[in-house]
Structure 1
Amino acid sequence: MEPFTDEQSLSELHCKIYKLLGRGRNARVYLVDPGSEVNISAAKVMNNEEFIENEFVVATMIT
């Protein structure tokens, strides 16, 4: 089975992608509309094989 594209992954979360903000070695950051009461946001999509659990925990603490 092929991995999801960034667009498919964000679509599953009901996010509309406006544009790519940046790209690094292990992730991409998009300007998105999360489709809720939250205003425009940034979404970081990481490569699964490079996923670092601590980074996820910290990200959820600052949002």
Structure 2
Amino acid sequence: MEEIKTGNITRPVLFLGDSKYDYQAAQTAGLDFIFLTQWTEVKDHQAWCKDLGFDVEVNLMLLA
């Protein structure tokens, strides 16, 4: 969030992550979030993602 305040990162911002911590960080900073599943260690991530209602992709190649 400090990088946004200093202007080093400007909105809109997309945060790509594979953990619950990544999701929490994106939420705290008010950033859009896509969950990547290929390397995640989140148990039952399908249900977790569905419950929270955010976008899910396997890896970056599918975003191209």
TM-score by length of 2: 0.28
Considering fraction of residues, name the structure with more helix: 2
Considering fraction of residues, name the structure with more strand: 1
TM-score by length of 1: 0.28
